Structure 1
Amino acid sequence: MPELPEVEGVVRGLAPAAIGRKIQQVTVSETVIQSKLLGKEAIIKGVPTEEFVEQLVDMTIMDVTRRSKYIYFQLEKDGRSCLLVSHLGMTGAWFAVSGLEEIGEPKFRNHVHAIFTMTDGDLLVYSDIRRFGELRLLDCEADHPPLLKMAPEPFDSTACDHFLAMAELPKYARKPIKEVIMDGQVISGCGNIYATEALFRMKIHPGRKTERISMKRKRELFAEIVHILQESIEAGGSSISDYRNINGQAGSMQDRLKMYGRKVCPTCGEVTRSMKIAGRTSVYCPACQK
Structure 2
Amino acid sequence: MPELPEVEGVVRALQPVVSEKVIRHVQVSKTICTSINQGKACIIKGMDPEIFSDALVNMTIREVKRRSKYIFFYLEKGDKNYVLVNHLGMTGAWFHVHSLKEITENKFQKHIHIVLTFEQDEFLVYADIRRFGELRLLHSIDEYPPLLEIAPEPFLEEALPYFLTKSKLPKYANKPVKEVIMDGHVIAGCGNIYATESLFRMKIHPSRKISRISDKRKKELFQTIVSILQESIDAGGSSISDYRNINGEAGGMQDRLQMYGKKACPICHTNTKQMVISGRNSVYCPKCQH
TM-score by length of 2: 0.99
Please tell me the residue identity of whatever aligns with 2:284. Y
- How far does residue 120 in structure 1 lie from its aligned partner after superposition? 4.4
Residue 244 of structure 2 aligns to a residue whose secondary structure is coil
Matched residue, 1:223: 223
The superposition leaves residues 25-54 of structure 1 with CA deviations (integer Å, 9 ceiling, x where unpaired) of 100000101011011110000000111011
- How many residues align? The count is 290
Matched residue, 1:255: 255
Matched residue, 1:139: 139
Whole-Å separation in 1 of the counterparts to 2:74 and 2:120: 20
Matches within 5 A, 1:226-241: 226-241=226-241
Q: Which segments of 5 or more consecutive residues in structure 2 lack a partner in the other structure? A: none
1:109 aligns with 2:109: yes
Residue 257 of structure 1 aligns to a residue whose secondary structure is coil
- How far does residue 119 in structure 1 lie from its aligned partner after superposition? 3.0
Whole-Å separation in 1 of the counterparts to 2:33 and 2:3: 28
Whole-Å separation in 1 of the counterparts to 2:105 and 2:12: 21
Please tell me the residue identity of whatever aligns with 2:49. T
Residue 231 of structure 1 aligns to a residue whose secondary structure is helix
Whole-Å separation in 1 of the counterparts to 2:247 and 2:137: 23
Whole-Å separation in 2 of the counterparts to 1:229 and 1:243: 16
Matched residue, 1:45: 45
Whole-Å separation in 1 of the counterparts to 2:121 and 2:142: 33
Matches within 5 A, 1:248-287: 248-287=248-287
Matches within 5 A, 1:1-290: 1-290=1-290
The superposition leaves residues 119-165 of structure 1 with CA deviations (integer Å, 9 ceiling, x where unpaired) of 34410000001101011101100100000000000001100000000
Please tell me the residue identity of whatever aligns with 1:13. A
Residue 247 of structure 1 aligns to a residue whose secondary structure is coil
Residue 24 of structure 2 aligns to a residue whose secondary structure is strand
Whole-Å separation in 2 of the counterparts to 1:110 and 1:64: 26
Whole-Å separation in 2 of the counterparts to 1:112 and 1:247: 15
Whole-Å separation in 1 of the counterparts to 2:259 and 2:33: 41
Please tell me the residue identity of whatever aligns with 1:279. G
Whole-Å separation in 2 of the counterparts to 1:153 and 1:120: 38
Identical residues among aligned pairs (%): 63
Please tell me the residue identity of whatever aligns with 2:230. Q
Please tell me the residue identity of whatever aligns with 2:106. P
Residue 188 of structure 2 aligns to a residue whose secondary structure is coil
TM-score by length of 1: 0.99
Residue 116 of structure 1 aligns to a residue whose secondary structure is strand
Residue 246 of structure 1 aligns to a residue whose secondary structure is coil
Residue 5 of structure 1 aligns to a residue whose secondary structure is helix
Please tell me the residue identity of whatever aligns with 2:146. P
Whole-Å separation in 2 of the counterparts to 1:15 and 1:155: 20
- How far does residue 17 in structure 1 lie from its aligned partner after superposition? 1.1
Residue 216 of structure 1 aligns to a residue whose secondary structure is helix
Whole-Å separation in 1 of the counterparts to 2:275 and 2:24: 49
- How far does residue 106 in structure 1 lie from its aligned partner after superposition? 1.2
Residue 27 of structure 1 aligns to a residue whose secondary structure is strand
- How far does residue 174 in structure 1 lie from its aligned partner after superposition? 1.0
4+ aligned runs moved over 4 Å, structure 1: none
The superposition leaves residues 225-268 of structure 1 with CA deviations (integer Å, 9 ceiling, x where unpaired) of 00000000000000011111112110010000000011110001
The superposition leaves residues 95-136 of structure 1 with CA deviations (integer Å, 9 ceiling, x where unpaired) of 001110011111111110000000344100000011010111
